[in-house]
């Protein structure tokens, strides 16, 4: 059996959706931390780079001592954070790579409530509501590797040069493109499609089992039994489809990224004809809705399953289902 994979990562760079419809007045009435409705988790996309500085004392310090850092595969944006006191004194400046969802969740806290006194982001002295007031403002960008430091340096009036943007709308505006996931709203699944050879005695009444093997030692998969009840699977020349909830195969989504092979084995006999199964092909499709991608493994045969565990060397590819909104 040879596993065929058909998935290519779409080259959208950072393909995610960030459509939030918040009723700030309603949220302000709640006494708990407001729910986060980000619909994106992670996407393995071509890595980006960000200008990086951690807890610099000023924008100038960030520029002088920062550096360009290549982000990890699950870090899709550059985050900017500026902490001030009294809207004038910069206390810390930080920029760097960030998981897109985490950055957007942080940014949303800038102006989460309708009551302006409860805003965390108070970037100018005239936004302060009490003596010695503090401010923390966050923004996300992905335009280029210098987008973070350039954003903070853009306010150049002499009196406030180097203090980062003073207008709230600059900290509130969207600086990353919007994308939509075409499989959003569907269930995350693992689908196994088998074809039994169309030759005499190719069928079997045995169940069949498969198990993913990951190159990540922390990712352990269990055997999954292929059995559609009621029904007679693995008949001569027949195509059978078995659908599993992805979480039942493995609840840790990132474990599906590092699959290096598939193990195949006979299960118990469920009838009278329990000869070895002669498989023509097997295809396994992993639909990860949170990451908005699919990964497909395929193995073409024939191969014989006969009371032994078979390692099916596979190739695998990915397809991303994010589409850029106009």
- pLDDT of the residue at 302: 86
Give the pLDDT score at 323.
75
User: Long-range CB contacts (< 8 A, 24+ apart) of 58-63?
Assistant: 58/90, 58/93, 58/162, 59/90, 59/93, 59/149, 59/152, 59/153, 59/162, 59/163, 59/164, 60/162, 61/93, 62/93, 62/94, 62/95, 62/149, 62/152, 63/149, 63/153
List the chain domain ranges.
24-177, 189-324
Q: Is the pLDDT of residue 304 over 70?
A: yes
User: Above 50 in pLDDT, residue 21?
Assistant: no
| Percent of the chain residues past pLDDT 70, beyond the cut | 81
When pLDDT is cut at 50, 70 and 90, the band that residue 106 belongs to is: very high
- How many helices (H) does the chain have, and how many strands (E)? 6, 16
0.85 exceeded by pTM = no
User: What pLDDT, on a 0 to 100 scale, did the predictor assign at position 197?
Assistant: 95
189-324, superfamily in CATH?
Answer: PLAT/LH2 domain (2.60.60.20)
In this prediction, residue 159 carries a pLDDT of: 55
pLDDT on residue 286: 95
pLDDT of residue 160: 59
Percent of the chain having pLDDT more than 90? Answer: 47
Q: What average pLDDT does the segment 242-261 reach?
A: 91
Residue 161: the pLDDT is: 67
Bigger pLDDT: 73 or 274? Answer: 274
């Amino acid at each position: 059996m040879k596993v065929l994979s058909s998935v290519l990562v779409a080259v959208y760079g950072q393909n995610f959706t960030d459509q939030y419809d918040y009723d700030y007045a309603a949220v302000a009435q709640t006494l708990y931390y407001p729910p986060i409705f980000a619909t994106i988790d992670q996407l393995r996309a071509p890595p980006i780079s960000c200008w990086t500085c951690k807890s610099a004392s000023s924008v100038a310090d960030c520029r002088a001592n920062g550096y360009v850092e290549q982000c990890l595969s699950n870090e899709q944006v550059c985050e900017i954070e500026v902490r001030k006191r009294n809207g004038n004194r910069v206390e810390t400046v930080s920029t760097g790579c960030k998981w897109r969802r985490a950055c957007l969740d942080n940014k949303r806290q800038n102006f989460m409530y309708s009551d302006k006194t409860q805003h965390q982001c108070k970037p100018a002295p005239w936004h302060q509501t009490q003596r010695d007031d503090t401010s923390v403002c966050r923004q996300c960008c992905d335009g280029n590797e210098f987008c973070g430091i350039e954003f903070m340096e853009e306010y150049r009036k002499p009196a406030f040069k180097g203090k980062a943007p003073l207008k709230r709308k600059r900290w509130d505006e969207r600086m990353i493109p919007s994308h939509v996931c075409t499989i959003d709203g569907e269930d995350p699944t693992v689908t196994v499609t088998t074809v039994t050879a169309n030759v005499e005695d190719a069928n079997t009444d045995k169940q069949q089992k498969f198990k993913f093997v990951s190159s990540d030692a922390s990712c352990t998969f269990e055997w999954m039994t292929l059995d559609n009840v009621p029904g007679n699977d693995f008949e001569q020349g027949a195509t059978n489809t078995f659908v599993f909830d992805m979480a039942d195969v493995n609840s840790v989504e990132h474990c599906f990224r590092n699959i290096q092979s598939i193990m195949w084995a006979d299960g118990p006999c469920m009838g009278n004809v329990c000869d070895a199964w002669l498989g023509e092909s097997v295809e396994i499709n992993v639909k990860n809705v949170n990451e908005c991608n699919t990964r497909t493994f395929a193995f073409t045969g024939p191969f014989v399953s006969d009371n032994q565990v078979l390692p099916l060397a596979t190739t695998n590819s990915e397809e991303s289902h994010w589409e850029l909104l106009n």
